[in-house]
Amino acid sequence: MTDRFQVLKNAVPFNLLPDEVLMGVVDLLEEVKYTKDTTVYHQEVSKLRGVDIIAAGEYESFFYDSAQNKRLLDHHRVGYCYGGISVLLNRRKSLRTVIAKKGTVVYFLHRRDFRALCQAYDAFFHFFTTDYGKRMLNDEFAHFAKRPAAFEESYIASEQLYSRKIESLEYREIVACPPDTPVYQVAQMMAEHKVSCSFVEEEPGKIIGFVTDITLRDNVVARQADAQLPVKNFMDNPIVTINAQAYIYEAILLMFQTNTRYLLVEQNGQFRGFLSRNRLLSEQAQSPFMFIQSVKLALSLDELKGKWQKVPEIVTQLLSRGVNAEIVNQVITTVADTIALKVIQGGLDEMGTPPAKFVFMVLGSEGRKEQTLKTDQDNAIIYEDKANEQRELVREYFLKFADLISERLDQIGFSFCTGGFMAKNPKWTHSLSHWKRNYTSWMQDIVPETVMNFSTFFDCRYLYGEKSIMDELQEFLDQELQQPMERLYFHMAKNALQYEPPLTFFRNIRTFTVGSQEVFNIKKAMTPIVDLVRVYALQNCIFVTNTGERLAALKEKGIFTEKQYLELIQSYYYLMSVRLKKQANQITRDKAEPENYMDVRSLTKIEQVTIIEIFKIIKDFQAGIKLKFTNNLFG
């Protein structure tokens, strides 16, 4: 009994568990002895019944390559736990081949009991997910960890991931305390309930913040703060919530987009529990979301560049599994956002504390969360207004900062914007008051060229910094748009009508010749939907930027009928799917630069017929907007 306890006490991550828990685990262990060079597990074949803690001897683990050579050979000695990643993240199949060396003795813990420990102790569980994420940063490990057959089989359980709703999950119980509770009592409460997060409740049902094990470590223990102080002094906010009717993939993406580890689940106006990001990710071991987690762990520009280069492969896999293009866009955007956030934080660490609060915002397709694989930089910086004597210093800092960020994004693979719509351009790094003047000018001094050039700024989205600055700009726009804006809408609509769907008189797809191909520009074919939906959104003071979200909001307001909404959203994302598939194939299969030209001969008959029908829908939509905004049905 004592020997087993000591082995557990020194085994990572069992050493994170309380002694009384370890004593209970000791009774669950089964001792197993192996003779020299016994093959214990075969990679991607053996199904693990549980995990092995080495008590004596050693395990040798490795991958076999196609020539049966041992790759990434590791030796694991006393105290090592093998099988945690396989049980949690690889459908119980052993990731590697394992051979026991002479005199090996292991303590076996059944997966049922192992998972119970993961369920009860987040730090214990987090060890395995973090370890897996770090290993996946090694390209060789990542290659062997997703063998083609297994990868294709389990890359993503789309039927579950994209169809299951949050309400089908088991939520964690909310552990809450009043704001004046001493922080040491909160820590005791978290330990008692075996949770890594406690919420701060001002009154029943009104949650104003939360503390996590990381909060306690960084803000209390590391700073040697007085543990008698109230928890409100240390709590984090804002609270991020999600409705129980939302889908699991939406919850995971929201967590990455808001950089939060926990989501409160709301149903019928009440909080029903909370979700942990680690817990959700553990069920999606081979999904794009574990890839996003690995992006967050990348440490250098080269690693980030490597991650971005892998995105086309993920896009191909998602589309081949029938995942909707709207979701694929969100995955691409979340990866791009995660990379940009890493670059921004690295720039701030290098340049030091900025002399003013600021917002780094993204524009255009990135601002709409509709990025494809042919993308460039569209971004800008807004900083708070400062006194006259500080203005030059502040501006100098942010121009230098913007140049650094843009250069590094370009190194990673996000090329400079040919139109110059980047924070690197001094025109698009300014104070909040200057930005307000910009928008006022664009909305009041209307000329066609202005609308064409600056409509991208009406698709701006917060990415990093002081969100209140962005909120103030949005409130300003809301007030401005209450004024008569017929000329603005007229010119925006007119601009959106310039491109007509490429249909011939006989209702075939009109093409032009590029090299030996007969092509049409699929990006331009999609542009009328983006532009026209933007006009309707601004007219109705809808400030979400995503085309799909704008359409949904317009339907809710009764601007579009259910039929119009379905026609437009299905048309838009069908074209997006074709576009993404083409670009992914160009990168992964043809080793070529992605483009927006579609060769009609590369489309199946079904695709051609569908696209022709979509072009008819767009043409009808344009006729409707002509009537509404230009009062001229026939041009």
The pLDDT score that the predictor gives to residue 2 is 67
Q: In angstroms, rounded to a whole number, what is the distance separating the alpha carbons of residues 362 and 339?
A: 13
On whether residue 318 sits in a domain, the answer given is no
- Answer whether residue 307 is part of any domain: no
DSSP assignment string, 339-357: HHHHHHHHHHHHH-S-SS-
- For residues 513 and 609, membership in a common domain is answered with yes
- DSSP at 42: -
Is residue 273 helix, strand or coil? strand
| CB burial readout 586-623, b (16+ within 10 A) else e | bbeeeeeebbbbbebeebeeebeebbbebbebbeebbe
- Tens-digit pLDDT profile for residues 499-552: 889 888 767 889 999 988 889 999 999 999 999 999 999 999 999 999 999 999
Indicate if 346 and 472 belong to the same structural domain: yes
Asked if residue 94 and residue 215 are part of one domain, the reply reads no
CATH number for the domain that contains residue 91: 2.60.120.10
344 and 460 co-located in one domain: yes
**Domain check: are 100 and 201 in the same one?**
no
Task: Tell me the CATH number at 202.
Answer: 3.10.580.10
| Phi, psi for 508 (deg, rounded to 5) | -105, 170
Q: Which residues contact 378 (CB under 8 A, 6 or more apart)?
A: 362, 363, 364, 365, 366, 367, 417, 421, 422, 456
60, 91: one domain: yes
Same domain? For 336 and 467 the reply is: yes
Specify the pLDDT at position 239: 87
Q: What is the pLDDT of residue 400?
A: 98
DSSP 90: S
pLDDT in the model for residue 635: 45
**Same domain (yes/no): 568, 596:** yes
Per-residue confidence (pLDDT) for residue 402, from 0 to 100: 97
Parent domain of 611: 493-630
Q: Which stretches in the chain have pLDDT values below 70?
A: 1-2, 66-67, 130, 133-134, 136-139, 142-143, 145-163, 282-287, 506, 630-635
Residue 485 belongs to a domain: no
Same domain, residue pair 465 and 527: no
Task: Phi first, then psi: give them for residue 578, nearest 5 degrees.
Answer: -60, -40
CATH of the domain at 504: 1.20.120
CA atoms within 13 A on the CB side of 563: 2
Report pLDDT digits (tens) over 407-423.
999 999 999 998 899 99
Same domain, 218 and 348: no
- DSSP assignment of 567-578: HHHHHHHHHHHH
In a domain, 338, yes or no: yes
For the chain, the domain total comes to 4
3-state class (DSSP) for residue 246: coil
Domain boundary among 124, 147, 180: 124
Q: Which run of H or E residues covers position 539?
A: helix 522-539
Greatest Cα pair distance in the chain: 90
Q: Are residues 340 and 464 in the same domain?
A: yes
Report the interhelical angle of 467-480 vs 432-444 (nearest 10°): 30
Assigned domain for 74 exists? yes
CATH number for 409: 3.30.460.10
Note whether 275 and 215 are same-domain residues: yes
Whether the CB-CB separation of 60 and 73 falls below 8 Å is answered with yes
Q: What angle do CA 88, 93, 94 make, to 5 degrees?
A: 95
Residue finishing a domain among 108, 124, 140: 124
Average pLDDT, the chain: 87
Say what the pTM is.
0.67
Q: Which residue has the tokens 């049905």?
A: 633
Residue 79 lies in a domain: yes
| Residue 262 counted as domain residue | yes
CA–CA distances in Å: residue 434 to residues 56, 378, 437, 439, 551: 69, 19, 5, 9, 31
Across 84-239, the runs of DSSP E, i.e. the strands, are 97-100, 104-110, 176-177, 197-203, 206-212
135 belongs to a structural domain = no
CA–CA separation, 585 and 581 (whole Å): 6
- The confidence score (pLDDT) of residue 499 equals 86
Task: Report the pLDDT value the prediction gives residue 452, as an integer from 0 to 100.
Answer: 72
